[in-house]
């Protein structure tokens, strides 16, 4: 029974944290408010998560819409369009965008959190995107030597840059221009394996 209560408490805390993030973003989230909404003690939260960053990261991915899947539409361009339109729509939600930007900022100054952020946020997204390009190579849509790792950078780099800097919109026009540019790069002779790196 104690284990069941602990699982219920764990779920209640994640749900409370997700609701606070949805309303206030990462910077506006406090352990005190999460504890109050969940009916849990602050010390329990600190014991299980160590603090706000790890709790926010886990709560973000407790929401199914924030998990990493890319639909197979039968073409690279279709996959990219479906995924990117969904992503920019999510980022048009101000609090969700601020949550992601806040987590990214936290990762720059918190080395321990940075490791978890890469493992839970960045790498699953990158792996799913690289799989899109690899499948495109298998189907003959892209050259065999097209660098899926680099192409993934070319997809996400502009998205995160616009999110963090806010100098230009994340919208359908951006998505179409990005797809056109990335597909042109994918088919260019120079977009092949470009040196050593950790996968």
106-162 confidence digits (pLDDT tens): 999 999 999 999 999 999 999 999 999 999 999 999 999 999 999 999 999 999 999
User: What are the structural domains of the chain?
Assistant: 2-59 (1.10.10.60), 68-187 (1.10.357.10)
Q: Kindly report, residue by residue over 10-55, the tens digit of the pLDDT.
A: 999 999 999 999 999 999 999 999 999 999 999 999 999 999 999 9
Q: Kindly report, residue by residue over 92-114, the tens digit of the pLDDT.
A: 888 889 999 999 999 999 999 99
Distances from the Cα of 146 to the Cαs of 78, 136, 149, 181, in angstroms? Answer: 18, 10, 9, 14
Percent of the chain clearing pLDDT 70 (strictly above) = 92
pTM (two decimals): 0.86
| Rg of the Cα atoms in the chain | 19
Query: What single DSSP character describes residue 141?
Result: S
């Amino acid at each position: 029974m104690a284990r069941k209560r602990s699982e219920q408490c764990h779920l209640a805390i994640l749900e409370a944290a997700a609701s606070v993030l949805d309303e206030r973003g990462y910077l506006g989230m406090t352990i005190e408010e999460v504890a109050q909404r969940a009916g849990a003690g602050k010390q329990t939260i600190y014991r299980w998560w160590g603090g706000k960053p790890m709790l926010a990261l886990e709560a973000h991915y407790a929401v199914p819409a924030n998990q990493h899947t890319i639909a197979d539409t039968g073409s690279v361009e279709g996959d990219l369009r479906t995924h990117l339109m969904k992503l920019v729509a999510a980022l048009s939600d101000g609090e969700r965008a601020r949550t992601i930007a806040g987590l990214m900022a936290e990762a720059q100054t918190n080395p321990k959190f940075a490791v978890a952020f890469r493992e839970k946020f960045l790498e699953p997204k990158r792996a799913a995107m690289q799989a899109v390009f690899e499948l495109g190579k298998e189907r003959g849509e892209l050259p065999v030597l097209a660098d899926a790792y680099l192409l993934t950078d070319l997809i996400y780099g502009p998205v995160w840059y616009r999110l963090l800097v806010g100098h230009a919109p994340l919208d359908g026009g951006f998505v179409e221009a990005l797809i056109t540019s990335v597909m042109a790069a994918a088919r260019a002779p120079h977009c092949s394996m470009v040196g050593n790196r950790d996968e």
